[in-house]
Amino acid sequence: MTNLKTLAFFATPPHDCSYLPDREAVTMFVDPRADINKRLYSQLTALGFRRSGSHYYRPHCESCSACIPVRLNANLFRLDRGQRRVLSRNTDLDCELVPAGFFEEYYQLYELYIQQRHADGDMYPPSREQFTSFLVEGATDTHFLEMRKQGRLVGLAVVDALEDGLSAIYTVFDPSEERRSLGTFAILWQIEEVRRRGGSYLYLGYWIKACRKMNYKTRFKPIEALIEGHWQELEPT
């Protein structure tokens, strides 16, 4: 059986960094032939790895440590005023966790989101194959959080279940519903779901101090960061 001691890892050649201009990045990948079960996935996540489709990876840059894994302790988290307003604005939504899969309704929302919000990013232009390989394939225990207003899908969050909580993989939403702050709402919903399951943590991926698009993660407090191999509370900035 595959475990941390028997896993093989591979590193990519240097490539353009997706987050910081004029920098190169190196990514470490778990051997794609490895059998990754829920226990091993949970261990990898606690070590700072993320899942993208069937790939498990983490930054491995020799001269840069800007990408910092972060997580929330659901049992210590407390809402601030702005987050309470987000919950209040979305009381009319029906939310449900469903098994991950491809449905045209999901893809149409994903396509709209990428085209209007991330046309300058790596995922543009979107495609059905991209949606499937990124969000559906390789799932170990994955669900989609449907956010609906009177039956209409307005938001979709991809959520992986771990032994110690959940991992927030990705969220898309209808840009016309921007005032709802559905990205924030999805995180708040997942924090509560961690509590309902008796877990501890919601993993939020990487935080980069110099990347403005990631500033929202530090608005959830207290937030923990994996620094030099140890999880510790991230100091307010």
Q: Which pLDDT belongs to residue 123? A: 83
200 C-beta neighbours (distance < 10 Å), count: 18
Residues 6+ apart with CB under 8 A from 86: 180, 181, 184, 185, 188
Q: Which pLDDT belongs to residue 19? A: 87
Residues 6+ apart with CB under 8 A from 130: 123
Q: How far apart are CA 237 and CA 25, in angstroms?
A: 25
Find, among 97, 78, 22, 65, the residue nearest to 209 by Cα: 65
3-state secondary structure of 112: helix
Which tokens belong to 25? 């990045």
Q: % helix / strand / coil in the chain, to the nearest 5?
A: 30, 30, 40
Number of residues in the chain: 237
Longest CA–CA separation in the chain, Å = 50
Q: Which residues sit opposite 24 in a β-bridge?
A: 16
Backbone angles phi, psi at 130, to 5 degrees: -65, -45
Cβ proximity of 27 and 49 under 8 Å: no
Q: Which pLDDT belongs to residue 155? A: 98
Q: Which pLDDT belongs to residue 236? A: 61
68-73 vs 223-227, strand pairing mode:
antiparallel
Domains present along the chain, CATH in parentheses = 71-205 (3.40.630.30)
pTM given for the model: 0.95
Residues 6+ apart with CB under 8 A from 47: 58, 226
Q: How far apart are CA 230 and CA 142, in angstroms?
A: 27
Backbone angles phi, psi at 136, to 5 degrees: -110, -50
201-207 vs 230-233, strand pairing mode:
unpaired
Q: How far apart are CA 31 and CA 114, in angstroms?
A: 29
- Please, what are the averages of pLDDT over each run of 10 residues along the chain (237 residues)? 88 92 93 93 97 95 94 97 98 97 97 91 89 88 97 98 97 97 98 98 96 91 95 82
- Exposure string of 134-147, with b = 16+ CB inside 10 Å and e = fewer, is bbbebbbbbbbbbb
